[in-house]
Chains A and B, each alone.
Chain A
Amino acid sequence: MSDSVTLTVNGEPRIFAAPLTVAGLLAAIGLDTRKVAVERNEEIVARSRYGETLLGSGDQLEIVHFIGGG
């Protein structure tokens, strides 16, 4: 299917409508872009490039944030 992308997001398989950028992914999940960081296939995606970074099927995404820790 060309109108969907299958990603692994934080270890979970997820299907989204194509085309999909990192900004689109964060919006679809409902996350505030200012409070998270994104890694795509073990490479950091700079926040300034969220809107132009297109995701493709098979991409592995890690989306993290700060939590309490010692």
Chain B
Amino acid sequence: MDGTTPTPDTWTVAGRTFTSRLIVGTGKYKDLEETAAAIAASGAEMVTVAVRRVNLSDPGAPMLQDFVDPKKYTYLPNTAGCHTARDAVRTLRLAREAGGWNLVKLEVLGPPPHLYPDMQATFEAADALIKDGFEVMVYCADDPIAAKRLEEMGCVAIMPLGAPIGSGLGIQNPAMLSMMIEQAKVPLLVDAGVGTASDAAIGMELGCTAVLLNSAIAHARDPILMAKAMKHAVEAGRLAYLAGRMPRRMGADPSSPLAGLIR
């Protein structure tokens, strides 16, 4: 590459190809208008959504689909709030019927305050879902052995946390994520923990395929501006990864030549 002919930098999961490397959640916004505006500003092409009971007393209430068009964005139904494999599988079967999508995000969580991935239950649910024809993007611990196992079972993307869900603590485990990226043969996304734009950039610089986040945008003072910041951060991090960072050195190295100094 000479830098003058741009080559498309896309990524593919379960046969679907995306240009944006930012996946955003649709939760925690003030209203559906703000949700739609933030997603548009983020440039995301895939959005996570939750499955919940309809409100029987208000059946005509506006629905997410009216604001975030499933024909324009790839909906990735999640299993947020599920603490058992059974609940997660049941939820995604309903999601498949509601939307007709096989591509799903599996997450089976432990209790608060950490909501750490329950890997035993995650394995059980992944196994049942894959056998039932789902394409599973899986939220998981930053555990390279668990990640390898999920990949071998047939999960289409591995999505370890960078920090607890909704904590905004940033990527706490760059070394472990690097090792997991190194071994992954399917897309590896950092999911959870991003707090601000630099965190997303760090994830991409490490070599993640994409970044998934929600609270960092929805809970920013100005969510639409932060959505734009995240778009640029993910692009900057990706470019830096492709460019290859300079080696770290334990001392100074002047940028200006020493030759020709006046005497």
Interface residues of chain A, those whose CB is within 8 Å of chain B, are 9-12, 14, 29-31, 35-39, 42, 44-47, 62-70
What residues on B are CB-neighbors of A38 within 8 Å?
97
The answer to whether A66 and B75 touch across the interface, beta carbons within 8 angstroms, is yes
With A36-B54, A46-B97 already in contact, the answer to whether A67 and B90 are too (CB < 8 A) is no
- Bound CA–CA A40/B44 (angstroms): 35
A-B contact pairs, 20 of them (CB 8 A): A10-B53, A35-B63, A37-B94, A37-B95, A62-B94, A64-B54, A65-B98, A66-B49, A66-B65, A66-B75, A66-B95, A67-B26, A67-B52, A68-B28, A68-B49, A69-B25, A69-B27, A70-B165, A70-B213, A70-B218
The answer to whether B53 and A64 touch across the interface, beta carbons within 8 angstroms, is yes
The answer to whether B56 and A10 touch across the interface, beta carbons within 8 angstroms, is yes
The answer to whether A69 and B80 touch across the interface, beta carbons within 8 angstroms, is yes
What residues on B are CB-neighbors of A12 within 8 Å?
56
What residues on A are CB-neighbors of B56 within 8 Å?
9-10, 12, 14, 29, 63
Q: What's the least CB distance linking B142 to chain A, in Å? A: 18
What residues on A are CB-neighbors of B94 within 8 Å?
37, 39, 44, 62, 64
With A37-B95, A37-B98, A62-B94 already in contact, the answer to whether A67 and B214 are too (CB < 8 A) is no
The answer to whether A68 and B26 touch across the interface, beta carbons within 8 angstroms, is yes
> Which positions 136-167 of chain B face chain A at CB distance < 8 Å?
165-166
The answer to whether B26 and A35 touch across the interface, beta carbons within 8 angstroms, is no
Contact string against A for B residues 17-46, beta-carbon threshold 8 Å, 1 for contact and 0 otherwise = 000000001111100100100000000000
Partner of A69, one of B32, B50, B54, B59: B50
What residues on B are CB-neighbors of A69 within 8 Å?
25-27, 48-50, 78, 80, 214
The answer to whether B98 and A30 touch across the interface, beta carbons within 8 angstroms, is no
Q: What's the least CB distance linking A50 to chain B, in Å? A: 11
Interface footprint category on B: 35 or more
- Nearest CB in chain A to that of B91: its residue: A64
B174 within 8 A of A: no
Partner of A70, one of B63, B77, B80, B99: B80
Q: What's the least CB distance linking B95 to chain A, in Å? A: 7
- Bound CA–CA A47/B95 (angstroms): 12
Q: What's the least CB distance linking A44 to chain B, in Å? A: 5
The answer to whether A10 and B29 touch across the interface, beta carbons within 8 angstroms, is no
6 cross-chain pairs, A with B, having the tightest CB-CB distances, nearest first:
A69-B50, A70-B25, A70-B214, A37-B98, A68-B26, A37-B97
B232 within 8 A of A: no
- Bound CA–CA A19/B63 (angstroms): 29
The answer to whether B95 and A68 touch across the interface, beta carbons within 8 angstroms, is no
Partner of A65, one of B29, B63, B93: B63
What residues on B are CB-neighbors of A35 within 8 Å?
63, 65, 98
With A29-B59, A35-B63, A64-B54 already in contact, the answer to whether A70 and B95 are too (CB < 8 A) is no
B64 within 8 A of A: yes
